Amino acid sequence: MIQKEYTISPTTLNWKAHAYVYLFLIFVLAVLRLLPLGVGLSAIIFSLLFDRRSFSIDWLLLATFFAFFGLTDNIMNMVNFHLGNPLQVFLYSALGSQLISNVPSALLFADFTTHWRALLWGVSVGGFGSVIGSLASLISYRLYKAKYGSGFLSRFHLYSFTTYGIGLITFCLIYATR
């Protein structure tokens, strides 16, 4: 991936910065379901129409984000269950993060529990483990691969699964002593 350098005049920066801040707020309100989803999509449409650099984004990564969040939304609509105790919430969210990433996992399981501390622990620990565990890990993998090629995943997974295991054990020990 070749990086291009852009020069931006203060006037352009000021106008675009303000526009993107407002559009970001609209998008966040749509994600929180305070505005209709179509209104939130206006931020993307605006960016594509008025900022040609938007076309130089990593489209596969963007599609991955949409797929994870779409899957999460569909699962929430299909199932109806309650996670009753903190250990159950922690394990489901930590393991779910390995399948659909930690942020979508947090959104998915938040509707099925009142144990927020266990949910936050679970998705935080779930961010470790596989490269899918955290969308940030997926981004760092793609950046590393573009710059250096292969050799990242084996070392990454060695450290990440070790940390994941330590997180699982730590929560279980804390939960057992309560």
More confident residue, 109 or 74: 109
pLDDT digits (tens, 9 = 90+) for 77-131: 666 677 789 999 999 999 999 998 998 899 888 888 999 999 999 999 999 999 9
3-state secondary structure 67-123: HHHHHHHHHHHHCCCCCCCHHHHHHHHHHHHHHHCHHHHHHHHHCCCCCHHHHHHHH
With 60 as the cut, is the pLDDT of residue 76 above it?
yes
Q: Whole-number mean pLDDT of the chain? A: 84
d(CA 49, CA 43): 10
Ranked by mean pLDDT, which of 56-60, 68-72, 125-129 comes out on top? 125-129
Number of residues that make up the chain: 178
Span 133-143, mean pLDDT? 88
More confident residue, 174 or 19: 174
